[in-house]
Amino acid sequence: MHEPERLTPEESDFEAALGALMPLRPDLEVRKIWMEAQRRKWRAQVLVWRGVAAVLAAGLIVSLLLRGHDNPASVRPISIEPGRQVNQPVAPQVTPAPARQSLPVVLSGDDYLALRSRVVAFGIDALPQATPATGTFAPIRPLELPADSSQPHTTINIFGPLWRGGRS
């Protein structure tokens, strides 16, 4: 059988140094993956809108090029001859009678339609007077912020790395 060649001392040192190397762990974080996915999605949307704009611009250019041009030299003013008038009887002008205004129908009762008909007939003054509220009402208490006030909300925290300056 064929025996492999012996390595020189420099080659054996080099072999030992290469054997000691470890592969690096890939630099993958959820935040970086999400940002790259968003960037690619936005890039695709930009490309779609650029394509739409290009198609519209091309359509505008084609429509302008295919449009027929009127030659302004072929249009001449119309001459009016004052001696030739046609005598026709003039029809008497009839002014139409003004439209009859119907009286508003005022419904009685306290339901919505009756109140609406009174407001249409008599204006905003037909609305009943507002009655003041009775009883006591507790003021709305403000939301309590968590101890770590750098995060705006504790249950839904999808923007947490952004509030902390990008550190995870």
> Which pLDDT score is estimated for 157?
57
**Helix, strand, or coil (residue 143):** coil
Residue 73 lies in a domain: no
> Which pLDDT score is estimated for 108?
80
- Show the domain range for 46: 29-66
Q: Which residue has the tokens 């009762």?
A: 109
- Rg of the Cα atoms in the chain: 43
**Mean pLDDT per 10-residue segment, the chain (168 residues):** 81 92 84 91 92 95 82 65 64 73 73 86 83 70 62 56 53
Residue 55 lies in a domain: yes
> Which pLDDT score is estimated for 168?
45
Q: Which residue has the tokens 């309590």?
A: 144
Tokens of 24: 């690096």
Residue 48 lies in a domain: yes
Please give, one letter per residue, the 3-state secondary structure of 94-117. CCCCCCCCCCCCCCCCCCHHHHHH
pTM reported for the whole predicted model: 0.27
Total structural domains within the chain: 1
Neighbour count for residue 118 (Cβ, 10 Å): 19
> Which pLDDT score is estimated for 132?
72
Cα(125)–Cα(127) distance, integer angstroms = 5
Q: Which residue has the tokens 């779609």?
A: 48
> Which pLDDT score is estimated for 88?
67
Residue 51 lies in a domain: yes
Cα(47)–Cα(41) distance, integer angstroms = 10
Residue 97 lies in a domain: no
Secondary structure letter of residue 138 according to DSSP: P
Residue 49 lies in a domain: yes
